[in-house]
Amino acid sequence: MFASASSVKVAALTVNTPSVNFNLKYEKEWADLEPVPQDDGPNPVVKIAYSEKFSDVYDYFRALLKNDERSDRAFALTAEAIELNAANYTVWHYRRVLLQALSKDLREEMRYITAIIEEQPKNYQVWHHRRMVVEWLNDPSEELEFIADILSQDAKNYHAWQHRQWVIQEYKLWDNELKFVENLLEDDVRNNSAWNQRHFVISHTTGFSDPAIVEREIQYCLSQIRKAPHNESAWNYLKGMLQDRGLSSPPGLLERVLELKETHCSPYLLAFLFDCYEDALENSNQKENVGEEERKDILRKALEICDLLANEKDTIRKEYWLFLGRSLENKSGSRGPSDKPPEPSDPASGQQEMS
């Protein structure tokens, strides 16, 4: 996602433009233009050993840019420059200037950018360019199918999902998206991007306030959890959906999860239980009908889970679970009489010296 240096060179892409197969300086078409070599200075750093073709194309590109030339040969050259380095945002910007200045066929540009994205789907510039062309055409009709194709090759491509969400929101194409998401989750129930899209669609359409929707989603989650108990996405979705209204708000949810604990336990299930107990404690502050004994019992259960996770079930997060336990204990008062003392980690009381 971030500028990564793949050592694999981009495969050549044939584009329907005037021939630029040889060095441009030998081409009559370019004879009037003086190429501009790159000004790296006398003692360059991070100096790239460009191929002859790369230097040639970019020397002429710099010349065109310097003159702000708006011509077909300039337009053709941008395709060459892009093929050599599709991350050169200056070239893409110039290509867009030319698309408008020369009134180029935007449908053809859509075909071009479709091909480029298929070759290099993890590049920021190509997707941004496509978005601009779609905006200019004001025509999203190809987008959902195109993105679906890209996602069929990499179901988690962040750029693809970003473009998809933009198209859906901008052109109000919500109707079939939940079905699309469900199909993806059938292919791979662990696809976190698909779970995110599920949340995106529902929050922008029906919302999560309707208890019927919430119940449907809870059932969906629990059914996926039964099939794949160690799927963190499903548990995160369950929590994420409910956290604003409180995890203890759907009646019977805690019981349903406790039932699952026997046969489908996981660190995620235990963490969810902890969150339910913590939520119950927080809400019990507002409710008078939760007695002191009950509060103590909930606290004891919550702290038990922290210890279990820290020391046995999720030890990679030991520091975190210990912190959560100390923090909860501190907020809610001390442990019940039957419990063991806190696990020694390091002294955490009193003022920290961090400025």
Partner 1 sequence: MWQRDGGQLFKKNFFFSFCVKRAVLRCLFVHFLLHSSYQLFVINPSFLCFRPALLREQHYQYLKKGLRHLSDAYECLDASRPWLCFWILHSLELLEEPIPTAVASDVCQFLARCQSPTGGFAGGPGQHAHLAPTYAAVNALCIIGTEEAYNVINREKLLDFLWSVKQPDGSFVMHVGGEVDVRSAYCAASVASLTNILTPKLFEDTTNWILSCQNWEGGLSGVPGLEAHGGYTFCGTAALVILGKEHMLDLKALLRWVVSRQMRFEGGFQGRCNKLVDGCYSFWQAGLLPLLHRALFKEGESELSRQRWMFEQQALQEYILLCCQNPAGGLLDKPGKSRDFYHTCYCLSGLSIAQHFGNMDLHHEMILGKEENRLAPTHPVYNICPEKVSQALQHFHRLPVPYENKPPGKADTAVKEPTVDRTQGCHYD
Which residue of the set 53, 104, 122, 318 is catalytic?
A: 122
233 versus 284: smaller Cβ distance to partner 1: 233
Shorter beta-carbon distance to partner 1: residue 86 or 280:
86
Judged by CB under 8 A, the chain residues 175 through 204 that form the site for partner 1 are 188, 190-193, 196, 199-200
Least distance from C-beta 197 to partner 1, angstroms? 8
Identify the CA nearest to 258 among candidates 272, 241, 246: 272
Based on the residue annotation, tell me whether 122 is a catalytic residue of this protein. yes
List the one residue from 318, 335, 339, 343 that touches partner 1 (CB under 8 A): 318
Query: In Å, how far are 140, 246, 256, 277 from 300, measured between CA atoms?
Result: 55, 20, 20, 9
**Rounded to 5 degrees, what are φ and ψ at 278?**
-60, -40
Site for partner 1, residues 239 to 268, rule: CB under 8 A = 240-241, 243
Residues 9-28 that bind partner 1 (CB under 8 A): 9-10
SS3 243: coil
Smallest CA-to-CA distance from 198 within 166, 240, 163, 158 is with: 240
Residue 326 CA: distances (Å) to CA of 206, 250, 284, 298, 346: 39, 28, 19, 15, 11
Q: Please report how the helices 72-84 and 52-67 are oriented relative to each other, as an axis angle in degrees rounded to 10.
A: 140
Q: What's the CA gap between 79 and 129, in Å, rounded?
A: 13
- Within residues 21-80, the interface with partner 1 by CB under 8 A covers 36, 38-41, 43-51, 54, 58, 62, 65
From the CB of 291, what's the least distance to partner 1, in Å?
Answer: 27
Least distance from partner 1 to the Cβ atom of residue 312, Å: 12
Residue 30 CB neighbour total at 10 angstroms: 19
* CB closer to partner 1 out of 30 and 268: 268
Name which position in 237, 248, 272, 303 contacts partner 1 (CB under 8 A): 237
Q: Shortest approach of partner 1 to residue 102 CB, angstroms?
A: 17
Q: Which residues are catalytic?
A: 122
